[in-house]
Amino acid sequence: MMSVKKCLPVLVVGAVILTAGRASAQTSQSSWNAEVSVGWDLNVSGAFLAAGLGTLNNTATVINSQSFGDVYGTGVLWQFSGGYMIDEINEFRGQLSYQRAGSDITKLGTANNTDLLATFDDYKAWTIEAGYRHFFAPRSARMRPFGGGTIGVAIISEIDGAFAAPTAGITRLATDFYDGTAAFSFGANGGALYGLNDRYDLFGQIGFRYNSGLSQIDSLVGTGLENINDKSSRWTLPITFGIRVNF
């Protein structure tokens, strides 16, 4: 009995030290993290081609309005980012995104009353953004809803096109269509993190993003179709899912 009483203070001190150590480990999380995600950037508004009347190869031509979704499929969107938690619920982020979408043969309108078809280069864009995120729960919560915004620049590759209307005598009219572009980009988004453990989280995110217009090329000057590529600013709906690593 005396032995137990002598050991009791030691056991109490040990328990206190162990408890404090665990609490310290739980609250001394690093402020740095990294995320990788994949998803889709769905077109909401914006015309890859605006409607127009003019000539191609001296042939009367009608162009119908075509959205980005009409010309390109829903390409895959990859995002890589890093963040720094300035406190329990606020975070600054830097993000790099890459998107690529292929073009199918598209019916643009008519040339001499026959179908006018076209193909275009793949849409390829790198976007560099800075952002802010606000969490609606502290880091200790397993489920952490959030909202935030981004601002940056999208580097979009040059897009060339090829037109054809064989019955009207246009077999393959290749032309530059959009020059390489540095487009202004900003967006707002929301989502939620789900903690797997102290280091890894899964997350989903949805938002709206605006990109300013692509750089026009004047290859259509004098055809009456000069303005069909001047309404290319657009809104999109990015939806992504990924994993977050806390350091």
Tens place of pLDDT per residue across the chain (247 aa): 444 455 445 444 454 444 444 444 444 568 999 999 999 999 999 999 999 999 888 889 999 999 998 999 888 999 999 999 999 999 999 999 999 999 889 999 999 989 999 999 999 999 999 999 999 999 999 999 999 999 999 999 999 999 999 888 888 888 888 999 999 999 999 999 999 998 999 999 999 999 999 987 777 778 888 888 888 999 999 999 999 999 9
Predicted local confidence at residue 9, as pLDDT: 53
pLDDT of residue 235: 95
Name 191's bridge partners: 146, 205
Q: What is the pLDDT of residue 168?
A: 84
Please give the pLDDT value at position 54.
92
Cβ(187)–Cβ(209) below 8 Å: yes
Which of 236, 169, 247 lies closest to 201, judged by CA?
247
Contact assessment for residue 187 and residue 208, using Cβ atoms and an 8 Å cutoff: yes
| Whole-prediction pTM | 0.82
Query: What pLDDT score was predicted for residue 52?
Result: 92
Residues 6+ apart with CB under 8 A from 218: 226
Structure tokens at 81: 């980012």
